[in-house]
Amino acid sequence: MTGKGQGGSWVPTVVSSTGNGKFHASPAALDLIDLMGRLLRSDDPAGIQEALAHVALSCGADVAQFCRAVPGGDLETCHHWARDPSADAPRTGLALPVGETPLVLRDRADAGDAALRAQLEAAGLRSVVAIPALRQEALAGNLLLGWRSQGPGLPPEDLAVLRSLVEAMLAAAERRDHEGRHALSLQALQDDRMLLEAILRTSNSAIIAFDGEARIVFANEEAAGLLGTEPKALRGCTLEGIGCRLLSRDGEPLAPEAMPVRQAMAEGHALRGLHHVLIGADGRQRILSVNAAPVAGGDGGGGVRVVATVDDVTGQVSADSALRTALAEAHQLAFFDPLTGLYNRRGVVEVLRDCLQICARENSSLALLYIDIDGMRQVNGTRGHWLGDRVLQALAARLEDLRHDGCDLGRISADEFVLTCSESHPDPASAVAAAEVSAERVLTELRKPLVVDGLTIEITVSIGLAAITAEDTVEGLLKGVDLAVMAAKAAGGDRACAYRPDMEQDMVGRVALAQELREAIRRDEFRIFFEPMVRLGDGGLEVVGQEALIRWQHPVRGLLSPVAFIPFAEETGFIRDIDRWVLRAAALELARWADDPERRHLRLSINISSAQFLSDEFGQMVREVLAETGVDPTRVELEVTEGTLLSNLGLARATMMDLRSLGLSIALDDFGTGFSSLSYLRDLPVDVLKIDRSFLGGLSESKANRTILEGIIGLASGLGVALVAEGVETTAQFAWLRAKGCRTFQGYLFGRPTDAPQLTLPPEVEALAAPASVERAALGHGQG
């Protein structure tokens, strides 16, 4: 904004459009001169405000303002005074522009500019006087006095004094601005200096400043330590003066012009990455990395001419060979398995990429074998991960012996290995055929027992195999052989299976089964069925117990037998939750029988998986179930397989002793199927042996089976262990077992599993207890 065109009077002296006369309260000139002197001398920021109030009161004004110009030419109120601070007068907005001469407007009605009249009316002012202050012929500020009624006149000499006052006020404001900027500059300079000192003194690098004569002007503590002397001994000295010698990287003396400080001054630019040998004042020899830069404006005397940063790289240079070794080790860790020394997953991926390139280049096919250890989880769970690692190392060594030149072997995950065959084949079918031959050789070799730390461990593997073609991808190959491994495991393990495209659908089924099992546990879809156990006594055959057998009441497929889901549950880990459910449900049922006279005498046999039986928490879980259900533990019999005990004999014995201390009995299920159980049986606290049903299937034709059964019956009798013959389905089997001294039986001959316990036997079965029936059903002479 400018002052012109506002409708005011622009005059060098006082002009009134409504009449003559003087303002009746003109300030004394001496007072104003005194005000100006105090303004110019005082450092008090309140001086301008005090001067503004003083002149307003002297003039009888109701409002006074001191304004300053801002960029763009507008005026901004800096100080404001009002006779009545509570009056409804604005504290801003009265910065009226003026020209080079004072503006005197005795009555706002005389203002020719409507905007000006409106501004004065809004401020409640009728008369105003505005005194300008100029800088370089431009408006820099003004003093405004305002009256709410028609103001009196001021003589011209008072206006002149007021103009001097506003000049003094502006000068005071400008002085304070300058002082503020100067203070800020000093503070910024101090802050920068403190920051620089902090950087210099906390830097890990040695920082040294030199003058034009290569004398040290500044050095941080790191520099003093590097040079081998005290910080106070550095200033004003050259390196030679404090007993240091700077040599070339090869240890040769440096010419004066080759010194980094001299070189930087001579060349006029920064030097980076210089390497020199320093013999410090303390006699120590170090290899230095030096950066030196000239300082612009140096005077060649005592001022700083060069700043150098210095780092001790002795360890780095000495470690060059160690670095190469470390890089080699990093490569080893990146691509090789530290446990076995074979390729790791990343290494296998790179090998497969190379195989794909070979197939594309030669238009041929290669073979891939994916080898997964059966039951490795059980080895880790029963013997510990340390022994599991030793087993993996022994297995890797055996696979390495089987690997032909040009083939690659890797351990892709915990218990899974990958073998690529280097022999090229004209088509995928021939590659798969060759892979099957290699897989059979691997299976045969790995069936041989491993001897690890004096322990004989028998393991098997499942193998998935596939052809490698140029159209394949690494991800697709690994997914395919993984599906093939799953198929081999589902078929019982210890075999090889080639990948087929329809296996992906099988995988979908396995994923669905896992989800359904998870939901079945949550929704309590399992059921307990009971198969009777009978004993032959003086009173004939009677039901003396039940075996609890699980069934799954599937919401879509109906009632499922254990064969449909237990193997998968054991493979995937669901078996632990299922075992817990079976134990609790069976115990609750047995507790209910305690109040039934017809059932209270029955014992209940419950099957427990090896993973659960040998787990750390199994004993506690049994205690919790017994406490929850209140069942009599002497009527509970836990069945475990012979293989469970043989996998970790020490842990199995400890678990059995713990369970027997609770009052439970232990039955050894599927007895006779193991290879080494007889030698361990005397050391195990077993209460019952259950003859595996496989021995009864060919009883009449197999003399070997009859011989084994006679041995088991005699062994149980000699050890004082109860004996149960499972799988009895014919009267001939019953008669033979009875003739050999067996007295407790289980099988479809006596009753099939039902959802309620069978308490009686059919008459035709009870009749088998008669001696005549036994004679009629007995096997022929010479067969027993």
pLDDT digits (tens, 9 = 90+) for 609-649: 887 888 888 999 999 999 999 999 999 999 998 777 776 77
Write out the E strands in 584-662: 603-607, 636-641
Q: Is the pLDDT of residue 684 over 70?
A: yes
Phi-psi category of residue 652: left, alpha or beta, with phi > 0 → left and psi -120 to 50 → alpha:
alpha
Counting residues of the chain whose pLDDT is more than 70, the rounded percentage is 86
Q: Which residue has the higher pLDDT, 164 or 603?
A: 603
Q: Which residue has the higher pLDDT, 297 or 540?
A: 540
| Angstrom distance (rounded) from CA 68 to CA 53 | 17
Write out the E strands in 651-720: 665-671, 688-691
Q: Is the pLDDT of residue 302 over 60?
A: no
Task: Give the pLDDT confidence score for residue 92 in this predicted structure.
Answer: 47
- Which CATH superfamily hosts domain 203-318? PAS domain (3.30.450.20)
Q: Are 516 and 535 in contact (CB under 8 A)?
A: no
Task: Give the pLDDT confidence score for residue 675 in this predicted structure.
Answer: 46
Task: Give the pLDDT confidence score for residue 181 in this predicted structure.
Answer: 81
Please report which confidence band the pLDDT of residue 525 belongs to, taking 50, 70 and 90 as the band edges: very high
C-alpha closest to that of 656 among 674, 637, 673: 637
DSSP-assigned states of every residue in 9-38:
-B-SS---SS-----TTPPPHHHHHHHHHH
Task: Give the pLDDT confidence score for residue 170 in this predicted structure.
Answer: 85
Q: What is the mean pLDDT of residues 402-412?
A: 91
HEC-encoded secondary structure of 196-207: HHHHHHHCCCEE
Q: Which residue has the higher pLDDT, 344 or 285?
A: 344
CA 338 to chain centre: 23
- Which CATH superfamily hosts domain 527-777? EAL domain (3.20.20.450)
Tokens matching residue 66: 């001191």
- Sole residue written with tokens 């006594």: 537
- Which CATH superfamily hosts domain 334-501? Reverse transcriptase/Diguanylate cyclase domain (3.30.70.270)
| Angstrom distance (rounded) from CA 127 to CA 114 | 15
Amino acid at residue number 627:
A
Task: Give the pLDDT confidence score for residue 169 in this predicted structure.
Answer: 85
Q: Are 310 and 290 in contact (CB under 8 A)?
A: yes
Task: Give the pLDDT confidence score for residue 325 in this predicted structure.
Answer: 66
Task: Give the pLDDT confidence score for residue 19 in this predicted structure.
Answer: 36
The architecture of the domain spanning 29-179 is 2-Layer Sandwich (3.30)
Q: What is the mean pLDDT of residues 270-292?
A: 88
Please report which confidence band the pLDDT of residue 530 belongs to, taking 50, 70 and 90 as the band edges: very high
Q: What is the mean pLDDT of residues 514-533?
A: 94
Quick one: 449 exposed, middle or buried, by C-beta within 10 A (0-12, 13-18, 19+)? exposed
Q: What is the mean pLDDT of residues 421-437?
A: 93
Q: Are 100 and 134 in contact (CB under 8 A)?
A: yes
3-state secondary structure of 3: coil
DSSP 404: P
3-state secondary structure of 76: strand
DSSP 770: S
Q: Are 182 and 176 in contact (CB under 8 A)?
A: no
C-alpha separations of 414 from 350, 372, 447, 641, 758 in Å: 19, 9, 20, 26, 47
pLDDT per position as a tens digit, 82-138: 888 775 544 444 556 566 778 888 888 888 778 888 888 888 888 988 888 888 878
| Angstrom distance (rounded) from CA 66 to CA 162 | 12
Please report which confidence band the pLDDT of residue 555 belongs to, taking 50, 70 and 90 as the band edges: very high
Please state the φ and ψ torsions of residue 748, each to the nearest 5 degrees: -70, -15
Give the count of beta carbons closer than 10 Å to the beta carbon of residue 97.
22
Say how many Å lie between the first and final Cα of the chain, rounded: 129
Quick one: 778 exposed, middle or buried, by C-beta within 10 A (0-12, 13-18, 19+)? middle
> Mean of the per-residue pLDDT values for the chain?
83
DSSP 153: P
| Angstrom distance (rounded) from CA 766 to CA 542 | 8
| Angstrom distance (rounded) from CA 140 to CA 48 | 16
Q: What is the mean pLDDT of residues 1-27?
A: 36
Task: List all residues 6 or more positions away from 527 whose beta carbon is below 8 Å from its beta carbon.
Answer: 550, 551, 552, 553, 559, 755
| Angstrom distance (rounded) from CA 724 to CA 687 | 11
3-state secondary structure of 182: helix
Q: What is the mean pLDDT of residues 471-492?
A: 90
Tokens matching residue 155: 């003589």
Most confident of 267-276, 324-333, 430-439: 430-439
- In this structure, the dihedral spanned by the alpha carbons of residues 750, 753, 757 and 762, taken in order and rounded to 10 degrees, is -30
Counting residues of the chain whose pLDDT is more than 90, the rounded percentage is 38
Kindly list the domain boundaries of the chain, sorted by start residue: 29-179, 203-318, 334-501, 527-777
Q: Is the pLDDT of residue 4 over 60?
A: no
| Angstrom distance (rounded) from CA 250 to CA 42 | 70
In the chain, what's the furthest Cα-to-Cα distance? 161
Q: Is the pLDDT of residue 732 over 80?
A: yes
Please report which confidence band the pLDDT of residue 440 belongs to, taking 50, 70 and 90 as the band edges: very high
Please report which confidence band the pLDDT of residue 379 belongs to, taking 50, 70 and 90 as the band edges: confident
C-alpha closest to that of 602 among 766, 760, 764, 767: 760
User: Whole-model pTM above 0.85?
Assistant: no
Angle (CA) 217 219 225, round 5° = 145
Angle (CA) 529 532 537, round 5° = 165
Q: Are strands 216-219 and 245-247 parallel, antiparallel or unpaired?
A: unpaired
C-alpha closest to that of 223 among 240, 251, 201: 201
Q: Do domains 29-179 and 203-318 have the same CATH topology?
A: yes
| Angstrom distance (rounded) from CA 317 to CA 422 | 43
pLDDT per position as a tens digit, 579-620: 999 999 999 999 999 999 999 999 999 999 887 888 888 999
pLDDT per position as a tens digit, 564-575: 999 888 878 888
Query: Looking at 300-309, 360-369, 393-402, which range is the least confident one?
Result: 300-309
Amino acid at residue number 455:
L
Task: Give the pLDDT confidence score for residue 177 in this predicted structure.
Answer: 81
Please report which confidence band the pLDDT of residue 528 belongs to, taking 50, 70 and 90 as the band edges: very high
Task: Give the pLDDT confidence score for residue 50 in this predicted structure.
Answer: 84
pLDDT per position as a tens digit, 313-351: 887 766 565 656 666 777 788 899 999 999 999 999 999
| Angstrom distance (rounded) from CA 173 to CA 167 | 10
| Angstrom distance (rounded) from CA 359 to CA 356 | 5
